[in-house]
């Protein structure tokens, strides 16, 4: 008996499943799985179950997920309905692998299962490598570089110094913190210590996008002014996009550097690692030599990567330190025994002694309007965040409610006022004639930015730029 062809809407979308831009890809995968299952001798019901499951998995992946549990599969008129029913039907369809245990059967495409296995092996190898001994001159340099931090000076844990100390010891370190929490300063001081310990160290800086790579280079140059010239001149001056670092080849998804032809480096620092999806993270870390040091910087509370896999969020979820590691870090930073107590994890991990959370913000106080608003947003507290904006109690926060789809006069005036210093600087440079001070103009330009939530529409990036 032949099954009706999988036509998407008739079998799933009209029965309550999500609809969106990824529907075409999801339905194509579903049709392929249904045809394959029938070729393998599956019954029409089993083939239909495989098609429905494939469509829902593809939709979940378009939303950033890597896998989908059977219990999360939505029931339709043509589906098995229960997790056990899905399991029986999918195994009978012959298009899934057999799980190692009866209850362990999330749906995942084989390619992404392979990525997860490869990435896990690389991470475990780096995380479980024996700690690197830190010589006393380097430990002294570490303490001196962070001596200005009030916490360390008072004999209290300073997570910037502790993060750098952890990266001196470990092959893999994940540093999570929002903007202004000192990640760049920590990296500059860390690289200075690494170059003291290993003067010929080959250091590479990378980021997922060109804009992030450029910001990283500029920020490192700005934060390195306190270093002696002899040391500052040895810091890397250029940051690469990950694709440029790996070397893109004509083959789809291929790179010059990979597990069989690794990068020539001793230290890799990746900024904005929150943007790394599972596939790119796997390819990048496999291309790093086994003995190299890997430092990933990002924000665990930031939106996940556009493609599937929230790699950074999972790697940074467990900041616990073993007693031996905590004591070693305390010694390196000149702290008393027992002074280092890591925060509780959001999700326990097998990769202990690798993650550090930066929570102190050096750009604004935690109890300031911006600090409290940021806390509300991180914790998903929409009502308190909106109330804080609407009260107008803090001059740093301004709420503009236009009451309509188009930006109102007050909003447009606020945008014009924000750009006024830059426009005034341009007019002054033109009036003076000669060669303008480009650096001063760029500083004025960087003093005000407008972040739009969307690209299109009356409040989108295009419309706002036109105004």
What string of DSSP letters covers 181-192?
A: SSHHHHHHHHHH
E strand intervals along 71-196:
172-177
pLDDT value, residue 213 = 92
Identify the H or E element spanning 241.
Answer: strand 239-241
pLDDT value, residue 79 = 67
- Model confidence at 120, pLDDT cuts 50, 70, 90, reads very high
CATH superfamily of domain region 115-358: P-loop containing nucleotide triphosphate hydrolases (3.40.50.300)
pLDDT value, residue 117 = 93
DSSP 8-state symbol, 14: G
Q: Is the pLDDT of residue 201 over 90?
A: yes
Give the residue with greater pLDDT, 351 vs 192. 192
Q: Is the pLDDT of residue 275 over 50?
A: yes
Q: How far apart are CA 361 and CA 152, in angstroms?
A: 16
Q: Is the pLDDT of residue 73 over 90?
A: no
Q: In this predicted model, what pLDDT tens digit does every residue of 145-176 receive, in sequence order?
A: 998 777 666 667 889 999 999 999 999 999 99
Q: How far apart are CA 367 and CA 389, in angstroms?
A: 15
Mean pLDDT score, 248-274: 91
3-state secondary structure of 397: coil
Query: Looking at the DSSP assignment, which residues form a beta bridge with residue 296?
Result: 174, 270
- Model confidence at 307, pLDDT cuts 50, 70, 90, reads confident
Q: Is the pLDDT of residue 243 over 80?
A: yes
Q: Is the pLDDT of residue 329 over 90?
A: yes
Mean pLDDT score, 98-111: 74
Q: How far apart are CA 235 and CA 233, in angstroms?
A: 6
pLDDT value, residue 22 = 55
**267-270 β-sheet, strand order:** 239-241, 203-207, 267-270, 293-298, 172-177, 355-358
Contacts of 188 (CB under 8 A, 6+ apart): 220, 223, 224, 227, 235
Q: Is the pLDDT of residue 16 over 50?
A: no
Q: How far apart are CA 73 and CA 58, in angstroms?
A: 12
For CATH 3.40.50.300, the residue range(s) in the chain are: 115-358
pLDDT value, residue 373 = 87
Q: In this predicted model, what pLDDT tens digit does every residue of 337-384 receive, in sequence order?
A: 888 888 888 777 778 899 999 988 778 877 788 888 888 888 888 898
Mean pLDDT score, 245-261: 88
Give the residue with greater pLDDT, 435 vs 303. 435
Q: Is the pLDDT of residue 3 over 70?
A: no
pLDDT value, residue 269 = 97
3-state secondary structure of 417: helix
What string of DSSP letters covers 176-230?
A: EE-TTSSHHHHHHHHHHHHHHHSTT--EEEEESSHHHHHHHHHHHHHHGGGS-HH
- Model confidence at 19, pLDDT cuts 50, 70, 90, reads very low
Torsion of CA 418, 442, 451, 394, to 10 degrees: -50
- pTM for this prediction: 0.83
Give the residue with greater pLDDT, 360 vs 261. 261
pLDDT value, residue 466 = 84
DSSP 8-state symbol, 55: H
- Model confidence at 78, pLDDT cuts 50, 70, 90, reads low
Mean pLDDT score, 400-426: 87
Q: How far apart are CA 43 and CA 40, in angstroms?
A: 9
pLDDT value, residue 152 = 65
pLDDT value, residue 6 = 40
Computed over every residue of the chain, the mean pLDDT equals 86
pLDDT value, residue 102 = 59
């Amino acid at each position: 008996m032949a099954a009706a062809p999988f036509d998407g809407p008739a079998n799933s979308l009209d029965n309550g499943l999500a609809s969106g831009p990824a529907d075409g890809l999801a339905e194509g995968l579903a049709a392929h799985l249904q045809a394959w299952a029938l070729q393998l001798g599956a019954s029409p019901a089993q083939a239909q179950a495989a098609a429905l499951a494939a469509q829902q998995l593809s939709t979940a992946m378009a939303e950033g997920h890597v896998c989908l549990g059977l219990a999360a599969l939505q029931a339709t008129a043509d589906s098995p309905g229960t997790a056990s029913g899905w399991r029986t039907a999918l195994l009978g369809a012959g298009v899934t692998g057999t799980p190692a245990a009866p209850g362990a059967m999330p749906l995942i495409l084989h390619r992404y299962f392979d990525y997860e296995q490869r990435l896990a092996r690389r991470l475990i190898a780096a995380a479980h490598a024996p700690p690197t001994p830190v010589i006393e001159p380097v430990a002294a340099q570490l303490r001196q570089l962070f001596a200005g931090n009030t916490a360390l000076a008072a004999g209290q844990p300073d997570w910037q110094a502790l993060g750098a100390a952890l990266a001196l010891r470990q092959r893999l370190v994940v540093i999570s913190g929002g903007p202004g929490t000192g990640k760049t300063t920590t990296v500059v001081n860390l690289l200075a210590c690494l170059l003291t310990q290993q003067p010929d160290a080959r250091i590479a800086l990378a980021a997922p996008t060109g804009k992030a790579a450029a910001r990283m280079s500029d920020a490192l140059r700005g934060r390195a002014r306190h270093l002696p010239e002899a040391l500052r001149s040895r810091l890397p001056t250029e940051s690469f996009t990950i694709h440029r670092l790996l070397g893109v080849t004509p083959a789809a998804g291929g790179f010059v550097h990979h597990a069989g032809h690794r990068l020539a480096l001793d230290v890799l620092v990746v900024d904005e690692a929150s943007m790394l999806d599972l596939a790119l993270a796997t390819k990048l870390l496999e291309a790093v030599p086994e003995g190299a040091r890997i430092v990933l910087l990002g924000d665990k509370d930031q939106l996940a990567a556009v493609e599937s896999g929230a790699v950074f969020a999972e790697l940074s979820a467990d900041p616990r330190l073993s007693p031996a590691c905590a004591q070693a870090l305390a010694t390196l930073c000149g702290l008393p025994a027992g002074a280092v107590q890591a925060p509780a994890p959001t999700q326990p991990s097998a990769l202990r002694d690798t993650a550090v959370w930066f929570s102190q913000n050096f750009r604004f106080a935690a109890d300031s309007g911006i600090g409290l608003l940021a806390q509300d947003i991180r914790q998903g507290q929409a009502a308190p965040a909106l109330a804080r904006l609407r009260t107008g109690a803090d001059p740093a926060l301004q709420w503009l409610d236009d009451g309509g789809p188009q930006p109102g006069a007050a909003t447009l005036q606020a945008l014009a006022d924000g750009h006024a210093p830059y426009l005034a600087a341009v007019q002054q440079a033109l009036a003076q004639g000669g060669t303008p001070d480009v650096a001063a103009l760029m500083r004025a330009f960087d003093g005000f930015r407008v972040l739009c939530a969307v690209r299109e529409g009356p409040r989108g990036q295009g419309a706002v730029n036109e105004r």
